Amino acid sequence: MPIWQLRAANSGQRAQTAVPNLTSDVRLLDCRSAVDKLAFLSPGSNPFTLGGMAMTPDSRIYVAGHRGMVGSAMWRQLEGQAVEKFYSSESPEYVIVAAAKVGGIKANDARPAEFLFQNLQIQNNLIQGAYRARVKKLLFLGSSCIYPKLAPQPLKEEYLLTGPLEETNQWYAIAKIAGIKLCQAYRRQYGCDFIGAMPTNLYGPNDHYDLETSHVLPALIRKFHEAKVTGAPVAVCWGTGLPLREFLYADDLARACVFLMQYYSEQQFINVGYGSDITIQELAELVRRIVGFAGGIVWDKSRPDGTPRKWMDSSRLFAMGWKPQIDLETGIRLAYEDFLKRFPS
């Protein structure tokens, strides 16, 4: 029985999880955040041995930022020295940089300095530390907001830096673009196997539900749930509802990360999307139905819409054989179940 080793970035404790067999469809290590879980794919096979790839059950795997949905809340511990000490004492062989200061459209707009500075700090420390520690492979997670606000759709990887960014999240986007470039630069100058993956908008268990700072999906779940419980006649949503967004369930991203750690080693970063998008109005209707709120929806047009559309072209990843497994309706049901467990009314 192999023991998969996972070093939790900010708990300081080793999580050693027994994986009894690898014949079932998906295996998740026992780690708090959905996206930081390592998912084991392929019925009847162990992806860690496929194709003679290097990552083995004995590998020391460091997932940075295991507490947040895509790894957040870790930056406070990420002074360069602490990271370096961590790298030198733990000697991780594989690093997944999911740690970031994240938030929805309002948080991005209201806290530009935090989003720019903290994200630069996090990724600089982790990437430079990985280089110094001679990490075998590093995966850096970016975001679909790196693309120009009015880029052609769907967004192909080569559209990076071809136009101006969206104003509310340009600070976060600039940091993420710097992270991509840093990985490319370390590959070019030092030959490091550092790769970048750009996920679309994410959601899932363990999300943040603060109504001012969260992303749209958790905000809608909470708003409709509270409106249902209190018997409110309407729930207020932001903007016009006309922008389009693509949503990927966090566990699907986790599966994509493991897949890319196995099979991707290129300088060019790669998009990780769901394949189709939906208007915010359609999303609101879907969440309202799943939550079971019978009232109306009011659109507060004084709130920003953000980017009109950011539909990823994920054809490169799909052509490699990875596909999302959780459709949007199923994913929202799972996220709502998680919300009810965490915030019983």
DSSP 70: S
Nearer residue to ligand GFB within complex by CB, 135 or 197: 197
The nearest distance, CB 301 to ligand GFB, in angstroms, is 10
Contacting residues for 303 by C-beta, under 8 A, at least 6 apart: 105, 106, 238, 239
Q: Beta strand pairing status for 234-238 and 296-300?
A: parallel
105 touching ligand GFB, by CB under 6 A: yes
Residues 214-273 that bind ligand GFB (CB under 6 A): 214-216, 219, 237-239, 243, 245
For the question of residue 263 being annotated catalytic, the response is: no
312 touching ligand GFB, by CB under 6 A: no
196 touching ligand GFB, by CB under 6 A: no
Distance of CA 297 to the CA centre of its chain: 28
68 touching ligand GFB, by CB under 6 A: no
Residues near ligand GFB (CB under 6 A), total: 24
Query: Residue 47 and residue 65: Cα distance in Å, rounded?
Result: 24
Q: Measured between alpha carbons, how far is residue 160 from residues 81, 230, 268 in Å?
A: 32, 45, 11
Residues 270-289 that bind ligand GFB (CB under 6 A): 280
The nearest distance, CB 171 to ligand GFB, in angstroms, is 8
Nearer residue to ligand GFB within complex by CB, 66 or 222: 222
Q: Please identify, among the stretches 37-45, 101-109, 152-160, 265-273, the one whose residues bind ligand GFB according to the rule CB under 6 A.
A: 101-109
Contacting residues for 284 by C-beta, under 8 A, at least 6 apart: 220, 237, 241, 297
- The angle at the Cα of 110, spanning 169 to 245, to the nearest 5 degrees, equals 40
**To which H or E segment does residue 47 belong?**
none
Given 33, 123, 143, 184, the residue binding ligand GFB (CB under 6 A): 143
Site residues (vs ligand GFB, CB under 6 A): 104-105, 108, 143, 145, 168-169, 172, 201, 214-216, 219, 237-239, 243, 245, 280, 303-307
